[in-house]
Amino acid sequence: MAFVATLVTVAATTLAAALARALGVDFEVPDGGETIPLSGIAVVTGFFSLVGVVMAFAFRRWSARPAERFGWTAGALTAISLIPPFLSGAGAATVATLVVLHLIAAAVMIPALVVYVVRRAPAWPVPVG
């Protein structure tokens, strides 16, 4: 389920980015004047979604309250991830779209991984070794 959520997240953010590009968002970042390609959005989304999966595994394995801890941690990291688009110097449409893409990814991954952690949480205490 966690890996399916990753694939759904990659598809959702890439499709949303493609729609935004079709509506005129240029995804141009002033540092070097480069444009963020859709493949770049897909790769970065996939990478950080997999980081979330690893975090969920870790919380499930070593936390007394894995779903709660994972939810708070993922929420905090999502909030932090909203800062870089504002610091990029990109145009308002690009910044707004990047923020929305972060929120789409979080809206798919966090609930899916919380459910995953709850359904698969081991009885506490977890045996060590």
In a domain, 86, yes or no: yes
What's the mean per-residue pLDDT of the chain? 91
Quote the pLDDT of residue 122. 56
Q: In this structure, what token pair is assigned to residue 36?
A: 């963020």
Closest CA to 98 of 55, 41, 39: 41
Quote the pLDDT of residue 97. 98
Please tell me whether residue 35 adopts helix, strand or coil conformation: strand
In a domain, 128, yes or no: no
Quote the pLDDT of residue 121. 58
Quote the pLDDT of residue 19. 98
Closest CA to 75 of 113, 44, 126: 113
For 91, other C-beta atoms within 10 Å of its C-beta total: 15
Instruction: Please tell me the total count of domains within the chain.
Output: 1
In a domain, 125, yes or no: no
Query: What residues make up the domain containing 77?
Result: 2-120
Quote the pLDDT of residue 125. 53
Q: Give the type of residue at 83.
A: I
Quote the pLDDT of residue 84. 94
Kindly report the pTM of this predicted structure.
0.88
Quote the pLDDT of residue 25. 97
In a domain, 88, yes or no: yes
In a domain, 7, yes or no: yes
In a domain, 47, yes or no: yes
Residues of the chain with pLDDT under 70: 120-129
